[in-house]
Amino acid sequence: MTAWTDQFVGDRMAVDREFTERVAASEFSSQEWGTIMTAVEFEIEDPESPEQARVVADTSKVDQVLPAIESMREGMGMGGAPGAGGGGTNADGREGGAGSGSGLFGSIKDSLGLGGGGDEADHRAESAAALAEEYAQRFQEHLEEHGKWTRACEVAAATGDASRGEHAEESGGGVGSADEQPE
């Protein structure tokens, strides 16, 4: 559950601004990255121990947005999205992205299973996950640098308890009272 991030929206926005150069150097356009981020949730592993805790990116839903990214690239023409690594020139000198080709013929080949689009989609998913993990690390570093890491861990631990059906706020005793409830 990522409700803990709701209390750190300003920090996320700051990291977003800092991360734009990294996105520009990646194979994704800023629009594609924005789409990817709609499918990424950030969790804190081991929030009870801030010294050992870390922010991780749950990228299990990224596959769901890959078709939208492909549509964006197809809509931009054969070269792919501006600034994206998918454009450029193929080994044989033709313009187009990696994989089976672009545009109408590439789509037809992919739909018939002749284009190898699965490898390209797998690569894109792996690249998106790796970039999201970089973002998660930078988000944690930002929270640490600004003295907010311990608070983020506390909020994540409390939110995690609530996501398991234990509602500390409803018991009237604050965060610690969730442990006192019968199981």
Render pLDDT for 5-31 as a digit per residue (tens, 0 to 9): 999 999 999 999 999 999 999 999 999
Question: Is pLDDT above 80 for 172?
Answer: no
Q: What is the DSSP string of 33-56?
A: HHHHHHT-EEEEESTT-TTT-EEE
Helices within 82-148 (DSSP H only): 103-111, 117-145
End-to-end CA distance of the chain: 21
Q: What band does 177 get if pLDDT is binned at 50, 70 and 90?
A: very low
Q: What band does 107 get if pLDDT is binned at 50, 70 and 90?
A: low
Query: Of the spans 95-109, 136-150, 161-175, which averages the highest pLDDT?
Result: 136-150
The whole model's pTM is what?
0.67
